[in-house]
């Protein structure tokens, strides 16, 4: 590898502006990098990232995530993880999702849409995507609609904490304050739901039981924080990126408008081509050989989903957005059998994937129903932002309003 020169840096301006050429350079020339400043290996090929998600541990969350939400299902392994997953999963799939929460998702989307549908111009991020999933989560938890803005603020601070790669002390302090505020808010609500459960996710978490085990107050607090971060981030950034991708490819946008069943394809391809979360850390359990060399036990590994999902060893014309590609299995794209890495993989596959799919499909359908001739304003070029997660920070769209 020495003859190839130093690998492009994760922290460079070039990576911030456009990571895709660097993804390619990593995969082709530097498939294994030790990044001293981050204290982690970087892996970028599809097969290596896929293997890491299935074989490596998630111990890294003890320092990466636990300070801001508490110890969560992400850190758990073995039976503890299996029990926790069995306790929380029913609330996010099957009859509960179909019967109780699809109307909640639709109502939240319609309320946000009503504020701009007649304007002919919208920042789809600021006015819709960043608020939509948080409103859904608050309503699913059975909490007051008046607290939507409060939870959106907590979500924003938590995401800043997770993205704080430079260790800004003010961002860290704000994250820790948010943790205390969220727990102070939720703990009395949890105790009340244990006494008087209702027909909501928080009550389900309070009363669910597997082999005599129930979630503790602290575990419910942690899962709620995780739900805000993971549930908000995926739907928010994926929906924004999907509209950016479709408006950038008018022929594909028109195909989706004409055949709404293609929304699932557009979402799956967005998860592959421009995944909301670009890097997830794992911890090496034992010395392991991968492309490019040996990883030492106990070290952190940055699994670069953005690079793995655009690996031309796995996908044809991988750097192109194409909802009609044949090498992405849409039928499995929102399950643990997905052949993209956006929802992670293995035992820690995203428990909210089906919820995210429902949110994106409902939100996209309603937006397309309300807006004709969707386009970028003249002279406007949308840009993505972010290192560990990435999407447009704003996305200006012009459109011709359609009658309600």
For the chain, what's the residue count? 404
Nearest to 264, CA basis, from 141, 358, 386: 358
> What pLDDT, on a 0 to 100 scale, did the predictor assign at position 233?
80
How far apart (Å, rounded) are the C-alpha atoms in residues 335 and 210?
A: 23
User: Which residues, other chains included, contact 88 with Cβ-Cβ below 8 Å and sequence gap of 6+?
Assistant: 73, 205, 208, 215, 223, 351
CA atoms within 13 A on the CB side of 367: 31
One digit per residue, the tens of pLDDT, for the chain of length 404 reads 333 568 888 888 899 899 999 999 999 999 999 999 888 999 999 999 999 999 998 877 777 677 877 776 666 667 766 776 766 766 666 666 666 788 999 999 999 999 999 999 999 999 999 999 999 999 999 999 999 999 989 888 888 887 776 678 898 899 889 989 999 999 999 999 999 999 888 998 898 887 778 889 998 888 888 888 877 888 899 999 999 999 999 999 999 999 999 999 999 999 999 999 999 899 999 999 999 999 999 999 999 999 999 999 999 999 999 999 999 999 988 887 889 988 887 666 676 778 889 999 999 999 999 999 999 999 999 999 988 889 999 999 999 999 76
Ranges of each domain in the chain: 2-378+387-401
The confidence score (pLDDT) of residue 93 equals: 64
Residue 404, burial from CB neighbour count under 10 angstroms (0-12, 13-18, 19+): exposed
Query: What is the chain's alpha carbon radius of gyration, rounded to the nearest angstrom?
Result: 21
Residue 258 CB-density burial (10 A; 0-12 exposed, 13-18 middle, 19+ buried): exposed
Q: Which pLDDT value is given to residue 334?
A: 85
At 389 the three-state DSSP class reads strand
CA separation for the pair 324, 326 (Å, rounded) = 6
Which residues are CB-neighbours of 78 under 8 A, at least 6 positions away? Answer: none
Superfamily of domain 2-378+387-401 in the CATH hierarchy: Cytochrome P450 (1.10.630.10)
> pTM of the prediction?
0.90
pLDDT recorded at residue 2:
36
Q: CA 375 from chain center: how many Å?
A: 25
Phi, psi (degrees; rounded to nearest 5) at 373: 50, 50
DSSP-assigned letter for residue 240: H
């Amino acid at each position: 590898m020495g003859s190839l020169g130093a690998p492009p840096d994760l922290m460079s301006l070039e990576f911030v502006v456009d990571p895709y050429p660097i993804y390619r350079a990593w995969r082709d020339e530097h498939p294994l990098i030790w990044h001293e400043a981050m204290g982690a290996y970087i892996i970028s090929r599809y097969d290596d990232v896929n293997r890491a998600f299935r074989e490596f541990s998630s111990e890294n969350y003890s320092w990466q995530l636990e300070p801001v939400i508490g110890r969560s299902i992400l850190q758990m392994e073995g039976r503890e993880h299996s029990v926790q997953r069995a306790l929380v999963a029913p609330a996010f799939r099957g009859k509960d999702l179909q019967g109780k929460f699809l109307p909640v998702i639709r109502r939240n989307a319609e309320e946000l849409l009503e504020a701009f549908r007649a304007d002919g111009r919208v920042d789809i991020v600021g006015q819709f995507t960043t608020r939509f999933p948080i409103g859904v989560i608050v309503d699913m938890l059975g909490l007051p609609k008046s607290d939507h803005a409060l939870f959106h603020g907590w979500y924003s601070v938590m995401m800043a904490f997770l993205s704080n790669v430079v260790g800004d002390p003010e961002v860290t302090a704000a994250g820790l304050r948010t943790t205390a505020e969220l727990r102070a808010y939720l703990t009395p609500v949890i105790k009340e739901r244990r006494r008087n459960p209702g027909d909501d996710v928080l009550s389900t978490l309070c009363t669910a039981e597997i082999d005599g085990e129930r979630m503790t107050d602290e575990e419910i607090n942690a899962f709620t924080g995780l739900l805000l971060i993971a549930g908000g981030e995926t739907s928010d950034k994926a929906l924004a990126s999907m509209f950016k991708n479709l408006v950038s490819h008018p022929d594909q946008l028109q195909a989706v408008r004409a055949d709404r069943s293609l929304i699932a394809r557009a979402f799956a391809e967005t998860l592959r081509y421009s995944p909301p979360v670009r890097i997830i850390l794992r911890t090496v359990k034992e010395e392991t050989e991968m492309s490019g060399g040996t990883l030492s036990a106990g070290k952190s590994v940055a699994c670069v989903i953005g690079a793995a999902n655009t690996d031309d060893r796995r996908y044809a014309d991988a750097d192109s957005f194409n909802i009609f590609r044949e090498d992405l299995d849409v039928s499995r794209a929102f399950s643990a059998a997905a052949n993209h890495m956006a929802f992670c993989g293995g035992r820690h596959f995203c428990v909210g994937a089906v919820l995210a799919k429902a949110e994106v499909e409902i939100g996209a359908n309603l937006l397309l129903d309300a807006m004709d001739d969707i386009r970028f304003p003249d002279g406007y070029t949308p840009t993505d932002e972010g290192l560990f997660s990435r999407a447009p920070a704003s996305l200006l769209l012009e459109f011709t309003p359609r009658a309600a």
